[in-house]
Amino acid sequence: MFKDNKEPVKISELGEFKLIEHLTQNIKLNHDSSKIGIGDDAAVLFHGDKDTVVSTDMLVEGVHFDMVFTPLKHLGYKAVVVNLSDIYAMNATPTQITVSLAISSKYSANAIEEIYEGMMLAAKKYNIDIVGGDTTSSFSGLVISITAIGEIEKDKAVLRSGAKENDLIVLSGDVGGAYVGLTVLQEEKAVWKVNPNSQPDFSGKDYILGRQLKPEARKDIVELLKKLEVKPNAMIDVSDGLSSEIKHICKQSNVGCNIYEEKIPIDPLTYNTAREYELDPTMCALNGGEDYELLFTIAQSDYDKIKGNPNLTVIGHITPKESGTNLVTTGGSVTPLKAQGWDGFAGKEE
């Protein structure tokens, strides 16, 4: 335990995931209704004929968003969507959310109303109810905490721990766009700080800016998989980076993986803008995060059901644990995957 250390252990030395793992390692579930606890995208509770799925997420000003370039309505919308994404990553359907805000004095009631307008737009689009929450004051900016509640048929939740050797690794949509969009916004902010009279040039960058400021949860993918009669063996949403997420699946499933660089879907605008800013598009795709796509594994026997679908890309396969988690580059070399996604405690790549 940290309390037994002679010297204080800095949170930044551990990083977010190691801190969570340490703090929760001794937590035990005492109720039969608590089916799945800490460690997945959401908890799973059993009530009657269906399981209840619960997840919570927090957005903190200065850590997760920058008010210099974040529209208030977009912020409210995004705050809801990132929580719903965790519910969809369990193969479940979100039904309600609660909203808690810590608000500093620099925000007017009008500003908070605009944030709520964004939340209500998201609630309408995804057919969920806002059923409660809390507000309090803050001395350090705005904090938004949302708890999402969903439901799924009994024992149908898809966990991170179900991947099997020889499973295919499938990714929805494309990745890297949110990170490259953030890079564009940060670069324009730097120009503005030098010259406050300058006007940002975002022409032609709508897609990647939208990926960062107004992402969408992949409700359509969950519905598509049900229509195709494909139940993933393991699933997670891509919030912290593709490399981090596949490593989560592999660790909890006790397996390894091979991801193929040439198979990773990257939008042309993401690719070209990354090059424009002297970034490696593959690294943006692997480590950028905030794309909120769904990453999952399926049995090879289900391949024909998803083959050719423009929304889904097979990017690799599951291997024995001893093989490790690897990226097979376009040139054919094999290199270990590193989890370099965003770490909110270290404030840098992990």
Residues 6+ apart with CB under 8 A from 258: 316, 317, 319, 323, 326, 327, 328, 334
Determine the distance from the C-alpha atom of residue 200 to the mean position of all C-alpha atoms in its chain, rounded to a whole number. 28
pLDDT, tens digit, 9 for 90 and up, residues 287-337: 999 999 999 999 999 999 999 999 999 999 999 999 999 999 999 999 999
- Rounded to whole angstroms, the Cα distance separating 181 from 196 reads 21
pLDDT of residue 16: 58
Enter the tokens of residue 151.
């439901």
pLDDT, tens digit, 9 for 90 and up, residues 123-134: 999 999 888 888
Residues 6+ apart with CB under 8 A from 257: 169, 246, 249, 250, 316, 317, 318, 319, 325, 326, 337
Burial bucket for residue 146 (CB in 10 Å: 0-12, 13-18, 19+): buried
Ranges of the chain whose pLDDT falls below 70: 1-6, 9, 11, 16-17, 19-20, 23-24, 27, 30-31, 33, 340-350
pLDDT of residue 254: 98
User: Side-chain half-sphere of 55: how many Cα atoms within 13 Å?
Assistant: 26
DSSP for residue 155:
T
- Rounded to whole angstroms, the Cα distance separating 20 from 332 reads 36
pLDDT of residue 1: 60
pLDDT of residue 27: 62
- Rounded to whole angstroms, the Cα distance separating 289 from 239 reads 5
pLDDT of residue 46: 73
pLDDT of residue 348: 44
pLDDT of residue 345: 46
pLDDT of residue 3: 56
User: What are the structural domains, with CATH classification, of the chain?
Assistant: 31-153 (3.30.1330.10), 160-349 (3.90.650.10)
